[in-house]
Amino acid sequence: MHDVGYVAAGYAITMATLAGYRWHLAARTRRARRYVSAVTRHPLGGRRPK
């Protein structure tokens, strides 16, 4: 029974780490895009107005 707990903990930690890192990258992308947009005065999304 204890073994199942170790297995569940292992899988949960792995998936939480992956999800957490992806969330961290998303937050970092938003921050960088906001900064670039403010510096270059181009709208968010990275495309220049036509």
Partner 1 sequence: MRYLYKALTVAGSYRAQRVMGIATLAGLAATIAIGLFVVPPDATQGEVQRLMYVHVPVAWVTFLAFGVVFLASVAYLITKRIQWDRVAAASAEIGVGACALTIVLGSLWGRPVWGTWWTWDPRLTTTAVLLLIYVGYLSLRMVADSPARRAKWSAVVGVIGFIDVPIVHESVVWWRSLHQQATVLRLGPPTIAGSMLATLLLAFLSFSVAYGYLMAVRLRIGRLEDRSAAPVSSPTPRARRPRPVGIATSVDIPTSADIATSAGTDLHA
Task: Point out which residues bind partner 1 (CB under 8 A).
Answer: 2-4, 6-7, 9-11, 13-15, 17-18, 21-22, 25, 28-29, 32-33, 35-36, 39
For residue 27 the two structure tokens come to 């937050």
Comparing CB distances to partner 1, the nearer of 14 and 43 is 14
Other CB atoms within a 10 A radius of the CB of residue 42 amount to: 13
Triad 17, 20, 22: Cα angle to 5°: 110
Which residue is associated with the tokens 């495309």? Answer: 47
CB 50 to partner 1: min, Å = 19
CB 48 to partner 1: min, Å = 14
